[in-house]
Amino acid sequence: MFSTTKVKTLILAATAMMGLAACSPGSTQVIKGADLKAEAQSNGDIYINLTTHLDSNNVQILAAQLPIMNPNNPAEQLGLININTSAPGITDIALGLNLSAVAKLPVLTPETTLPNGTSFPVWNTTAKWYSLPLNNSKTSKLYVNIDWTAQKSIVGYALTSDSLSAGIVANIFSVFNANGVTGYGGVFSGTTPGTSGLAVFADVSSVLTALNPTFSPVVTKKIVFADHTSEVKQKMFTKKLIDLNVKKAKIKFK
């Protein structure tokens, strides 16, 4: 886990991402809020809607829709990520996903790292990680980790944009906890095209528990979110992010 000094550095770096360190000293998170809703379809499938609210400040994140298609049946859409500005300086990223349909896919791509090669910042998972491409992209991906026995599920995604590259491999993440949704979100940098962007991971285990109230799950360790980027690299990455904010840069995820 992080020392107190490192936690403070990470928080300052995360707020500096969108200029928050200078514009609103009281803010400490890039992800300002989140909402999670779920429903059971008539066929029994579980459909989730996860919306995270990103404090983008002076950086303009362009609207986009990134469909999630069935790799075994390109005509079947399993979900969608919708990116929109909901208010000045606030960008909403809404993920709609048929979680059950994804879990039933016969073939999924195993995944253990973000596009920049660093490990997923999620610990104590009890199942394997898998990925699905977003909008036929080779770099932007949906990540899923589902353990029906333990009633644990983590859903995440990486949206890539070379505009966020600082020329080094580094991550700046912070924990968010809003409306009962706990997760980890922030930005990552790589050294080659397609290895920089925004990533969000959320614990959606409550969905499985709520829809299966009589099921007694196997007891396992609690999910923990943590990243191990050094303070030196965080500071180098922060300089790049501050520059983007000052320039009021436009960022498009694809």
Domain extents in the chain: 4-30+107-251
Q: How far apart are CA 40 and CA 151, in angstroms?
A: 16
Letter string b/e over residues 223-240, b meaning 16 or more CB atoms within 10 A of that residue's CB: bebebebeeebbebbbeb
> Is pLDDT of 238 > 50?
yes
Q: What is the mean pLDDT of residues 93-107?
A: 92
Alpha-carbon distance 100 to 40, whole Å? 10
Position 23 confidence tier, pLDDT thresholds 50, 70, 90: very low
CB 19 within 8 A of CB 56: no
Alpha helices (runs of H) in the chain, residue ranges in sequence order: 4-16, 20-23, 99-103, 205-211, 231-246
| Cα–Cα distance measured from residue 247 to residue 131, given in angstroms and rounded to the nearest whole number | 34
Residue % of the chain over a pLDDT of 70: 87
Closest CA to 183 of 3, 80, 31: 31
- Tokens at 229, concatenated: 């980027």
pLDDT class for 119, splitting at 50, 70, 90?
very high
Q: Which residues lie closer than 8 Å to 79 by C-beta, 6 or more apart? A: 67, 68, 95, 96, 97, 98, 102, 142
Taking all residues of the chain, what is their mean pLDDT, rounded to a whole number?
86
| 229 pLDDT higher than 70 | yes
Q: Are 33 and 182 in contact (CB under 8 A)?
A: no
Helix axes 231-246, 4-16, angle to 10 degrees: 20
Nearest CA among 212, 73, 81, 60 for reference residue 157 = 81
